Amino acid sequence: MTASTVERNRTQPRGVGRDRFENALFKILKPVVIVLLLVVAVFPFYYMVLLSFRSLDSLLQDPGALWISIDELDLSTYLEVLAPVSDGGQGFIVFMRNSLLVAISTVILTLLVAIPGAYAVSRLQFFGRRQVSGLFLAVYFFPAILLAVPLFVFFTQLGLRGSLVSLVIVYVSQVAAVSIYTLRNYFATVPVSLEEAAAIDGCSRLQTMWKISLPLAMPALVSNGLFIFMIAWNEFLFALLFLVEKRDSWTVSLGLSQLSGSIEVPTTVLMAGSVILTLPIIILFFASERLLVGGLTAGAEKG
Amino acid sequence: MTQLSGGSDLSGPPPVLRDDEDVRPGEHLVPTKPGRSRRSREENRAGLLLITPTLIIITVAVIIPIIWAVSLAFQKVRLLNIRRTGLFGSYTLDNFIEVITSPGFLSALWTTVLYSVLGTALAIGVGLIAALALRKPFRGRGIIRASLLLPYVAPVVAATFVWSTLLNPQFGFVNWFGQTVLGWEEPVAFLSQRWLPVSIFGVEIQIPIALLTVICFEGWRSFPFAFLFLTARLQAVPDVLDEAARIDGATPSQRFRHILWPQLLPTIAVLSVLRFIWTFNNFDDIYLLTGGGAGTEVVAVRVFDYMTARGDIGAAAAQALVLAAILAVLVGIYLRLFGRQEEQA
């Protein structure tokens, strides 16, 4: 496909000049682009941390400052955002506890449900398997806002007593289908011969799954668990629909969004809240980045 | 899933149906015919048993609510009379007629399309540039690559909050920078102003500034997703091709056009569809950034407003249903175009 173009270029001396020009251009352009991308991706997070350590007065006086000296460092924002409401704070400790509770329960329940499901879809021939796969795909692409309408009605009929448990159930139902999709690809990589050997040695199906397939798919399980944790920790729409009436059960995301609209809470205090919301995810991400990205790209080759 | 996974997860490969190619493991373990049928009966039972918990939870928390939503879309239901509404009411098409003829709906649909197309294009374009720039290994590439993923993994509420603080007309850094360094005459209200008059070469044009800002946010937030996919695809391109073209004297841009681009095209196509679907469904970003004001009202935000502020459940359900129907058509096209193709690839 390229032969004619390449041929033309070789015979024209102009092509050599163009090659040298392009090489020089991209050599300069590349570091510029990388630095630019890095600034664009990271600067908002730096700004978030920076503002969280400043007081509102110093922000209003000098909005352009991108550096603060040690003596300017103001930790009171964190104390205020974390302290319980009764002590004049914003109660983010409670929100953190709620978010953790919701995210961890979602991870455990989803894996409990998705591991057998993924194994079945990847290994077993059963009636209606195609339909089940199609159904999961549909769930994956469905607009969440359509689901929000009946759930909103349901909770209104119940008298708006949104609980964390119902939130977890909705999260699990949303994430289970995706989990099955990612996990089944890994079960498919476990050699069938290993399972056959176990079967010949007298293992039942469940024993084979438990002793052979599961340990081999462990890295996939861990990275999938981390994904689910991130999704549940970051989620906003359903938390808004279910929990908004009850401040005690707000998640960190919901708390931040609700308080950012009010005038009484200074922006810098809410920036401390943003850091508290983002930090667990960033720590988790950098600690497991290799695993997460490795798992992702292994699957992405098919795409 | 969409918002939940599309917005923030890294769950990776697009789920593509691959039913036909599966081998049936364990099939040849028991060669005799009667044994085989017993085996497959047992397999059928085990398979159904293992998938049942997932099916139950999806039925209870997704399928039944969606059927209910469809039934609500065909009834005149308001939040005030909601307690008396059951599955069997008096069905009518009024909601759809009312919704489609109201002028706000079509403009919201248009905004949604514009937002999805431009947001997707921006995300994939920047992702492609990033993937190409970081293609060759160098010292510190790992940490840079990981850092570029931050916008995608960070919680959407924190990301939108930082952006609206950065863009704040009074104390935001962007406006400070624009006024003191770039010489803007007055601060720009990026998120609350619909039109911004800008004069280019003496000609004054109106820029839809709030819409452009939310599109930029979408591009910023989801370019890492495209970056990751394209990086993976680039790694799979055999070096031999590139080397051969280099020896033949092809310039870098020619090598990109004739060697990399054809290899990347299928990935870009899949990415376009996936990102389009997720952006099309997106609620969080726009609700949190502008609340749907200043010409940024997309259908998802409109559904939310009808539901909570107006309490018009029927109209909200009808609009959500129209959104889902458009999406179903798109997913159908996607599967028809790419579902088969992938199996061969």
Query: Model confidence over A245-255: pLDDT tens digits?
Result: 888 889 999 99
pLDDT score of A168: 93
pLDDT score of B302: 94
User: Which tens digit of pLDDT belongs to each residue from B250-306?
Assistant: 888 888 888 889 989 989 988 998 899 899 999 999 999 998 888 899 999 999 999
Q: Where would I find the H helices in chain A?
A: 3-11, 13-52, 56-61, 76-82, 92-123, 129-141, 144-157, 164-189, 192-200, 205-208, 214-216, 218-234, 237-243, 252-260, 267-287, 289-300
B74, B97 contact by CB (below 8 A): no
B272, A224 contact by CB (below 8 A): no
Q: Which residues of A touch B24 (CB under 8 A)?
A: 125
A257 touches chain B (CB under 8 A): yes
Q: Which of B193, B199, B201 is nearest to B169 (CA)?
A: B193
What value does the mean pLDDT take over residues B46-68? 88
How would residue B136 be classed by pLDDT, with cut points 50, 70 and 90?
confident
Q: Which residues of A touch B83 (CB under 8 A)?
A: 157
Q: Which of A232, A218, A217 is nearest to A169 (CA)?
A: A232
* Residue B97: half-sphere exposure toward Cβ, Cα within 13 Å: 5
B75, B90 contact by CB (below 8 A): yes
How would residue B6 be classed by pLDDT, with cut points 50, 70 and 90?
very low
- Helix or strand (DSSP H, E) at B196: strand B195-200
Name B196's bridge partners.
B207
ipTM of predicted complex: 0.86
User: Which tens digit of pLDDT belongs to each residue from A215-273?
Assistant: 888 888 888 898 899 999 999 999 998 888 888 889 999 999 999 877 778 888 999 99
How would residue B167 be classed by pLDDT, with cut points 50, 70 and 90?
very high
pLDDT score of B186: 85
A150, B72 contact by CB (below 8 A): yes
| A189/chain B closest Cα distance in angstroms | 12
pLDDT score of B102: 85
Q: Do A152 and B308 touch (CB under 8 A)?
A: yes
**What percent of chain B is predicted at pLDDT more than 70?**
85
Q: Which of B60, B264, B143 is nearest to A113 (CA)?
A: B60
Of residues B19, B157, B250, nearest to A130 (C-beta): B19
pLDDT score of A110: 94
Length of chain A in terms of residues written: 303
* Count of pairs with CB atoms under 8 A, one residue in A, one in B: 406
pLDDT score of A20: 85
pLDDT score of A161: 63
- Which chain B residue has the Cα nearest residue A173? B58
Mean of all residue pLDDT scores within chain A: 83
pLDDT score of B29: 46
Is the pLDDT at B32 greater than 50, yes or no? no
B251, A9 contact by CB (below 8 A): yes
How would residue B84 be classed by pLDDT, with cut points 50, 70 and 90?
low
- Which of A115, A129, A145 should one mutate to test binding to chain B, selecting the residue with the greatest count of B CBs within 10 A? A145
pLDDT score of B164: 92
pLDDT score of A288: 82
* Burial A98-111, CB ≥16 within 10 A → b, else e: bbbbbbbbbbebbb
Instruction: Report how far residue B177's alpha carbon sits from residue B166's, in angstroms, rounded to the nearest whole number.
Output: 10
Task: Name the burial class of residue B59, with classes exposed (0-12), middle (13-18) and buried (19+) by CB atoms within 10 angstroms of its CB.
Answer: middle
Q: Which of B258, B251, B247, B244 is nearest to A15 (CA)?
A: B251
Q: Which of B228, B15, B278, B237 is nearest to A302 (CA)?
A: B15
DSSP B80: G
Integer angstrom CA distances of residue A167 from A31, A236, B56: 45, 11, 16
Residue with tokens 């033949």: B248
DSSP B62: I
Residue with tokens 């609009």: B319
Is the pLDDT at B341 greater than 60, yes or no? no
Is the pLDDT at B47 greater than 50, yes or no? yes
| Tens-digit pLDDT string for chain A (303 aa) | 455 555 555 555 555 788 888 888 888 899 999 999 999 999 999 999 999 988 888 888 887 777 777 777 778 888 888 888 888 788 899 999 999 999 999 999 999 999 988 888 887 888 888 888 778 877 877 888 999 999 888 887 776 666 888 899 999 998 888 888 888 877 877 777 877 788 788 777 778 777 777 888 888 888 889 889 999 999 999 999 888 888 888 999 999 999 987 777 888 899 999 999 999 999 988 888 777 665 554 433 332
How would residue B5 be classed by pLDDT, with cut points 50, 70 and 90?
very low
pLDDT score of B21: 42
Q: Which residues of A touch B158 (CB under 8 A)?
A: 48, 253, 256, 274, 277-278
Q: Which of B297, B265, B280 is nearest to B331 (CA)?
A: B280
pLDDT score of A15: 59
Tell which wins on pLDDT, B2 or A247.
A247
Instruction: Report how far residue A297's alpha carbon sits from residue B29's, in angstroms, rounded to the nearest whole number.
Output: 34
A236 touches chain B (CB under 8 A): yes
Mean of all residue pLDDT scores within chain B: 82
B26, A200 contact by CB (below 8 A): no
pLDDT score of B258: 87
Instruction: Report how far residue B261's alpha carbon sits from residue B265's, in angstroms, rounded to the nearest whole number.
Output: 6
**What percent of chain A is predicted at pLDDT more than 70?**
90
Is the pLDDT at B20 greater than 60, yes or no? no
DSSP B206: E
Is the pLDDT at B17 greater than 70, yes or no? no
- Which chain B residue has the Cα nearest residue A18? B251
A38 touches chain B (CB under 8 A): yes
- Strand B195-200 and strand B203-208: pairing? antiparallel
- Which chain B residue has the Cα nearest residue A180? B54
Instruction: Report how far residue A191's alpha carbon sits from residue A205's, in angstroms, rounded to the nearest whole number.
Output: 15
Neighbours of B143 (CB within 10 A): 12
Q: Which residues of B touch A258 (CB under 8 A)?
A: none
Tell which wins on pLDDT, B193 or B3.
B193
Of residues B29, B133, B228, nearest to A34 (C-beta): B133
A303, A108 contact by CB (below 8 A): no
Would you state the structure tokens that stand for residue B45, as one six-digit string?
Answer: 């039972």
B57 touches chain A (CB under 8 A): yes
A259, A273 contact by CB (below 8 A): yes
Residue with tokens 């455990």: A108
Of residues A1, A289, A300, nearest to B146 (C-beta): A289
Is the pLDDT at B242 greater than 60, yes or no? yes
Q: Do A156 and B10 touch (CB under 8 A)?
A: no
Q: Which residues of A touch B175 (CB under 8 A)?
A: 63
Instruction: Report how far residue B111's alpha carbon sits from residue B279's, in angstroms, rounded to the nearest whole number.
Output: 12
Residue with tokens 């624009």: B178
User: Which tens digit of pLDDT belongs to each residue from B197-223?
Assistant: 887 777 888 889 899 999 999 999 999
